[in-house]
Structure 1
């Protein structure tokens, strides 16, 4: 799975929203949930790809550079997911600290 494929899977829910059509909060929550699920599925697919490439390298079917590229893509995806999680937690904590 290429990086462009993963990016298109992650951005698919965002592109389906059309401006000018009002959405209910439930629709927006569902869309955000779909976005997160697609992002996590993309990271999981990158990790599986790295494992597959590693297995193929051990069998002598792929070059070490391909294994390293797949591993780095998986690592970067995991780091991005971790940073997004941290930002979401910070935003939630900030909202909880607000006085109404």
Structure 2
């Protein structure tokens, strides 16, 4: 008789490596630099997909997917920027 694990247990075991702490905490500047680099790389990829779609070398579905991913990335970056500005303004309102 074979005993099978539950889907919840399988999900936990799959996510367990992501929960392990890293050896060195990431520097905030490095984290933001990596995020900005990923945003630029994504936009460059979308631009290449758009160019390929214009000449008929890319599937229109791939173009829509690339544009949607870029839109989501830009919305995320602008939301993050708004939160940083809001936090800065809140700190500046604090009495000295």
- When the two structures are superposed, what TM-score results if normalisation uses the length of structure 2? 0.71
Give aligned pairs, total: 76
Structure 2 unpaired stretches of 5+: 1-20
- Unpaired runs of 5+ residues, structure 1, are 1-13, 19-27
Higher helix share: 1
Greater RCO, 1 or 2 (C-alpha within 8 Å, sep 6+)? 1
Q: Which residue is equivalent to 1:17?
A: 24
1:40 aligns with 2:36: yes
CA distance in structure 1 between the partners assigned to 2:46 and 2:77 by the alignment: 17
Q: Which runs of 4+ in 1 moved over 6 A?
A: none
Alpha-carbon RMSD: 1.8
Larger radius of gyration: 2
